[in-house]
Amino acid sequence: MNKSVKRILYIVIVLVIIGLIAYPKLPMSTDSETENSQAASPQSQELTVNAMVVGTESLENKVNVTGSLIADESVVLNSELSGKVEKISFREGEKVKKGDIIVTLNDDEILAEIEKLQFTKKLNEDNEYRQKILLEKEAISREEYETALTTLNTVKSEIKVLQARLSKHYIKAPFSGITGFRDVAEGSYLNPGARITELYKVNPIKLEFKIPSKYISLVNNGDQLTFEVDGYEEQFTGKIYAVEPLIDPQTRSISIRAKASNDENKLYPGQFARVSLTLETIPNALMIPTEAVIPELNGKKTFLYKNGKVSTAQITTGIRTEDRIQVTSGLNEGDTVITTGILQVRPEMSINVTIK
């Protein structure tokens, strides 16, 4: 033998010896372990999904819309007569009471006319008295007496007309409220119809908003609502007092007005409001997550877990909330609805379920 053959032979002998030494130390799988491994293999391939057990709960059918605040009453105060502004008796943005004088126009001329007629009235009263005495003595005819009486009554009527005109020189608040900015100054001359200021009644304050006309049967006078406005984190409450008897033909919506207390004057006409109105309360609603609903061409369905396998149920849905939806038909209380793995599951498929 040459040297290379001997070297190869020695290497083979060493490898055989090493193999004989190491073989008894190798782990040997038993028949039971093999069977368990084979049994576990299909189980490990089953899909694990989350599910929920359907129950009933109280559901509020709410509509969230936007609206605007408006004054309970508002009026532009102006002058019915021409005249110079003698006195301004209000401050801008402050409260006034009904009947308070807002502006006084110069009344010197009309007071002089009334005073003049008062003298004429006294003269005519004396004349009427004398004529009445003479009539009783049959010294004059009844026609002469009636002429004197008519003259007296005419003067009295003229005084009443001037007194009515005099009252218009004192422009008063028609209701209690808050005044706006004024457009006049003392000494300025007003023409009939000239704007003086605007008066607002803001307690209570009105809220106007619109809802789709399909909800018209669910809205009634006296219904409570809540709303929020910019600038405050608190919620305000109001009560519906009027529903417009006309549906907007363009938007198919209906206008609604509510009133809210404004004792602290936090609310202002013109403010933007976010309104939440509860239309109805459903005491026993079936609710499931929106991701569990699968749209189809002819409706909607969801996957159920029954007897260890997947099944399907055709459902009809109703009110949708932020992350859940009401099921009006197709499900019963106690059904187990699959909420995850929707794209992987198939009918009659065996799965592992985690109830959440």
Residue-wise pLDDT for 112-131, tens only, equals 999 999 999 999 999 999 98
Residue 33: pLDDT band by 50, 70, 90 thresholds?
very low
Are 187 and 84 in contact, with CB atoms under 8 Å apart?
Answer: yes
Structure tokens belonging to residue 98: 């009904």
Alpha carbon separation from 11 to 7, 18, 23, 201, 327 (Å, rounded): 6, 11, 18, 111, 78
| Residue-level pLDDT at 27 | 52
| Residue-level pLDDT at 274 | 96
Nearest-angstrom CA–CA distance, 5 and 144: 174
| Residue-level pLDDT at 43 | 47
Are 240 and 222 in contact, with CB atoms under 8 Å apart?
Answer: yes
Residue 20: pLDDT band by 50, 70, 90 thresholds?
low
Residue 148 above 60 pLDDT?
yes
Alpha carbon separation from 136 to 63, 125, 129, 153 (Å, rounded): 83, 17, 11, 20
CATH 2.40.50.100 for the 78-200 domain, yes or no: yes
Task: Give residue-wise pLDDT tens across range 270-325.
Answer: 999 999 999 988 999 999 999 999 998 889 999 999 988 999 999 999 888 888 99
Are 55 and 285 in contact, with CB atoms under 8 Å apart?
Answer: no
Nearest-angstrom CA–CA distance, 270 and 262: 14
Residue 32: pLDDT band by 50, 70, 90 thresholds?
very low
Cα diameter, the chain: 189
State the DSSP H helix or E strand holding residue 44, giving kind and residue range, or none if neither: helix 31-44
Mean pLDDT of the chain: 88
**For residue 126, what are the contacts with CB-CB under 8 A and spacing of at least 6?**
none
Nearest alpha-carbon partner for 353 in 40, 46, 52, 50:
50
Residue 41 above 70 pLDDT?
no
Task: Give pTM, 2 decimals.
Answer: 0.69
Each domain of the chain, given as residue ranges in start order, spans 49-59+283-355, 64-72+201-281, 78-200
Structure tokens belonging to residue 205: 């304050």
Residue 96: pLDDT band by 50, 70, 90 thresholds?
very high
Task: Find the helix packing angle between 108-136 and 142-167, rounded to 10°.
Answer: 160
CATH topology assigned to domain 49-59+283-355: 2.40.420
Residue 335 above 70 pLDDT?
yes
What is the CATH architecture of 64-72+201-281? Beta Barrel (2.40)
Q: Is 303 helix (H, G, I), strand (E, B) or coil?
A: strand
